[in-house]
Each structure stands twice: as structure tokens, then as C-alpha cells.
Amino acid sequence: MKKRVTKAIFPVAGLGTRFLPATKSVPKEIMTLVDRPLIQYAIDEAREAGIKEFIFVTSRGKSALEDYFDHSPELEAKLRRDGKTELLEALEDTYMDSGAIAYMRQHKPLGLGHAVWCARRLIGDEPFAVILPDDVISAEKSCLSQMVEAHAETGGCMVAAMEVSQQKTSSYGILDLKEDHGSIVSVKGMVEKPKAGTAPSNLAVIGRYILTPDVLKNLNKIEAGAGGEVQLTDAIAAEINHDRGVFGYRFRGERFDCGSKAGFLQATVAFGLAREELGDEFGQYLSEMVAMRSAAQ
């Protein structure tokens, strides 16, 4: 009987240098997309997928993350006195039950693989998810929920995957496909950021993973590679020749790279337009802006 996926690791130790000076004092994961921080979108997705234990791999200067998921008695008391029940209800999703969330420090910036390895003692002998908050995915059913359902059939390791243009393959980990069954593909190789023209496919890995505890054992053996980082893809690729196997999952939804300024702005527009109370006014403003730019040209 396959074990359920109930634990998730959130690697949030990065410095967010692409968003300086904002990230000098504010963790990138707390930056708001409309009116919720990036980390809230990741937590909501994990909850929808049945995750019960949340493991944050952090670094110095990330205390705002811990505060965000704690109660704020003064704020709650004021909202209650003012009768602002809707705002009180909006805070409900920001609370985490005692014991549901754990924080681990990554003392050296040694990459994603090392960040996942830092949480090894909290994982134990069961499959677990990894969610990168930079990748925000808009979907009717959350990306991780889709993957959990697919993983119940396949077992092994599973990575979220999407088609990218050949020109962009050098920016991603790329899957070398063994068999293609539509939404689920079996993998015979993984190449991290292949040189232009050498990618085995255009199916790119994005920031959602369901992994076996064997990946953590593999990380014990992997030396830091290019840039002094331990690559998670190397530890996953080591599972390809085992019976457990590695699979890619073509999720249904739209992914936004909120680790880049352009991607963050694109997500802001998409999520803003999707909000019932904002869509009409915001959409009209955008239309007027486009018309003005066209007229100026």
C-alpha cells in the first residue's frame, strides 16, 4: 500500500537579490501578489493537496515568515472592536496549528538539493512534496493536488513539467522521455540547463516535486557541482534506474515565474483580473494604458 503524501518542504532560504532593494528587509516570499504573499499561495496549494506538515528551510533574516503564520492578538482585537468580521475571516488562512509548521536553517547557500537535505530528519520514511513558492500556478485544481492523484498510480518520484520553447530550454532542468502517456511521462534522464541545441526534449521541470525518501539518501552522496550547489535533479535522476522510477506530470494550469520581475508583474495582472472585486476596474485601466501606448507609437 502506497503511503499518502502529507509532508511538504518549502525552500525559502534564498536572498531574493533580483528584487533588491525591496528584499533587503522583506523576505521575497512575503512580497504580495494582489493582497496575499507568495508563500500564502504555496501553503494554500499544499493544504488543498492534503498536506498536514509544513517544513520551511530558511536562513537569517526570514523571521517575518514565522510572524506571518502566527496570531496577531493586537490586530485581531482591533478588528473585532471595529466589527470588521470580513477582515478577521481573511486572516484565518494565515494561521497554522501548533506543531504543523517547522523551521530549519540552511546555514550555507548550497542550492536546492542541500535545502531539501536539511529537512531530512523531519521526513522519515515516507514520500514528501517540495514546493518552490517562486512558481505560482493558477489552476482549477491545484497543481500539487493533480500530482498527488497521479502519484497514487505511479509511485516513485514525480516532477511537475511543462512545455517550453527550444530557446528557453537552457534555463530549466529538461526531461529525457522514455514513454509519453499524455499527462504522465516516464523519464530516462534529466539534464540541468542544457546548452542551446542539446536539450533532449522541451519538457521542463518546474517547482513542484513528489519524492521518495531515497532521494534524501542520494543527496548524502552527491558533491556540490557547478556554482558550488548540490543539484536536486541529480538526486532524483539517481532513482531512474530503480524499480521506483521517475515520472513527469504535465499539469493543467498556468505557471508564473515570480522569481523574476517580469513574471511577478504578469502574475499580478492575471490574478488581479481574475478577482471579482477588481477585474472590471483593473481591466479598464489596462485597456486604456494599451490604447495610450498604441496612440503614442
Summarised one tens digit per residue, pLDDT across range 13-46 is: 888 889 899 888 888 999 999 999 999 999 999 9
For the cut 80, the answer to whether the pLDDT of residue 3 exceeds it is no
| pLDDT (0 to 100) of residue 99 | 76
| pLDDT (0 to 100) of residue 224 | 63
Its domain, for residue 55, covers: 7-259
**Domain containing residue 77: CATH number:** 3.90.550.10
Position 297 in a domain:
no
Give the Cβ contact number of residue 125 at 10 Å: 9
Position 279 in a domain:
no
| pLDDT (0 to 100) of residue 197 | 84
Position 194 in a domain:
yes
| pLDDT (0 to 100) of residue 66 | 84
pLDDT, mean of residues 54-61: 89
Position 274 in a domain:
no
Position 2 in a domain:
no
| pLDDT (0 to 100) of residue 40 | 94
| pLDDT (0 to 100) of residue 231 | 83
Cα separation, 27 vs 22, in Å, equals 8
Total structural domains in the chain? Answer: 1
Cα separation, 155 vs 106, in Å, equals 29
Place of cell 516535486: 209
Burial class (CB in 10 A: 0-12, 13-18, 19+), 20: exposed
Cα separation, 58 vs 47, in Å, equals 20
For the cut 80, the answer to whether the pLDDT of residue 126 exceeds it is yes
189 and 237 Cβ atoms separated by less than 8 Å: yes
Position 277 in a domain:
no
172-228 pLDDT tens trace: 889 999 988 899 999 998 888 888 888 899 899 999 999 999 999 999 887 666 567
Cis peptide before 21 (omega within 30 of 0): yes
Grid coordinates of 207: 517547482
Taking alpha carbons only, the member of 287, 8, 11, 240 closest to residue 132 is: 11
Position 50 in a domain:
yes
For the cut 80, the answer to whether the pLDDT of residue 297 exceeds it is no
**% pLDDT > 70, the chain:** 98
| pLDDT (0 to 100) of residue 108 | 83
Strand partners, 256: 136
**% pLDDT > 90, the chain:** 55
Position 117 in a domain:
yes
91 and 77 Cβ atoms separated by less than 8 Å: no
For the cut 80, the answer to whether the pLDDT of residue 121 exceeds it is yes
222-279 pLDDT tens trace: 766 656 777 888 889 888 887 788 999 999 999 999 999 999 999 999 999 999 999 9
**Which has the minimum average pLDDT: 126-140, 227-241, 275-289?**
227-241
